[in-house]
């Protein structure tokens, strides 16, 4: 009850007066002392936290699509091989907190912030449903239930990953995608990147009332076949050739690799939801 009243007060002060109250906390991440906005680092790892860390160790240029408040970016920027990260998110409140988290820890010099919706076309608008800095913001109203109930949406600009790559002169070798159901749109805007056959994608797959996991998986498999890539189901460390394999999942993760590249040995021992300590790298 107290937490609910506190949240309502924060929302009122922010909406009426533009006041933002964001307490920070000290925490340890990968043996580094960080000062972050409270709630940024979850107490338990997500399904893909360890996979992402391992992949970052084999990357120099990273695109973090659906960066939210910078949870993944903080982990990725703790990796010494990473030279540049581009954080993309259509929610300016969330992206602003991501920037604040990086600035608080002297990590922003290697970051670029793009407030836009990564899609298959640029310079268009998409209705985006979200509440404040919510991590479940989506183009699908049924995937963002809180925003739908409050009728909270806004029109946001679109961008493609190919155009970002051209604009900044950066060719990513690792792209992390977490966009609450818009996975196929993001990939459709990364065809030129895929043609280089050097980038690996970590894609969080979602389903909702408007998009079944089977249909979403079929779209990703078709994209792979059109772009000389293969999809791997990370939970089982196996090739995904039939959407039925993950049709039962509400959320899961795929690794997309150039078709001639084998499954990375360094990922074979990392299970879904594994702690960061499970990542053993030379």
Q: Tell me the CATH number at 178.
A: 3.40.50.150
State how many domains the chain has. Answer: 1
Q: pLDDT at position 208, please?
A: 85
- Which of 81, 82, 87, 83 shows the shortest CA–CA distance to 63? 87
Q: pLDDT at position 13, please?
A: 52
Q: Report strand pairing: 111-114 vs 153-159.
A: unpaired
In a domain, residue 10? The reply is no
- Which of 49, 58, 44, 76 shows the shortest CA–CA distance to 281? 58
Please tell me the distance from the alpha carbon of residue 222 to that of residue 184, in angstroms, as a whole number: 10
Boundaries of domain holding 254 = 40-278
pTM for this predicted structure:
0.89
In a domain, residue 184? The reply is yes
pLDDT in tens, the chain (282 residues): 555 565 565 555 555 555 566 899 999 999 999 999 999 999 999 999 999 999 999 999 999 999 999 999 999 999 999 999 999 999 999 999 999 999 999 999 999 999 999 999 999 998 776 766 555 566 554 545 555 565 666 788 999 999 999 999 999 999 999 998 899 999 999 999 999 999 999 999 999 888 999 999 999 999 999 999 999 999 999 999 999 999 999 999 999 999 999 999 999 999 999 999 999 865
Q: pLDDT at position 209, please?
A: 84
In a domain, residue 90? The reply is yes
In a domain, residue 15? The reply is no
In a domain, residue 56? The reply is yes
In a domain, residue 137? The reply is yes
In a domain, residue 33? The reply is no
In a domain, residue 12? The reply is no
């Amino acid at each position: 009850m107290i937490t609910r009243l506190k949240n309502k007060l924060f929302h009122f002060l922010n909406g009426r007066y533009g006041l933002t109250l964001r307490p920070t906390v000290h925490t340890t991440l990968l043996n580094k002392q960080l000062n972050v906005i409270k709630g940024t680092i979850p107490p338990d790892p997500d399904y893909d936290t360890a996979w992402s860390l391992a992949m970052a160790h084999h990357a120099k240029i990273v695109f973090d699509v659906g960066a939210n408040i910078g949870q993944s970016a903080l982990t990725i920027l703790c990796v010494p091989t990473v030279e540049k990260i581009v954080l993309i998110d259509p929610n300016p409140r969330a992206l602003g907190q991501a920037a604040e988290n990086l600035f608080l820890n002297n990590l922003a010099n290697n970051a670029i912030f793009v407030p836009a919706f990564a899609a298959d076309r640029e310079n268009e608008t998409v209705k985006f449903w979200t509440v404040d800095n919510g991590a479940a913001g989506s183009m699908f109203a049924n995937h963002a239930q809180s925003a739908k109930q409050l009728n909270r949406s806004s029109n946001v600009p679109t961008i493609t990953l190919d155009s970002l790559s051209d604009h900044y002169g950066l060719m990513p070798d690792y792209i992390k995608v977490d966009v609450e159901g818009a996975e196929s749109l993001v990939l459709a805007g990364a065809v030129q990147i895929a043609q280089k056959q050097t980038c690996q994608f970590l894609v969080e797959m979602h389903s909702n009332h408007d998009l079944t996991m089977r249909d979403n998986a079929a779209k990703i498999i078709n994209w792979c076949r059109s772009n000389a890539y293969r999809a791997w189901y990370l939970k089982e460390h196996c090739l995904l050739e039939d959407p039925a394999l993950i049709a039962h999942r509400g959320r899961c993760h795929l690794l997309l690799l150039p078709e001639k590249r084998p499954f990375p040995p360094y990922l074979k021992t990392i299970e879904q939801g594994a702690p960061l300590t499970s990542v053993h790298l030379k």
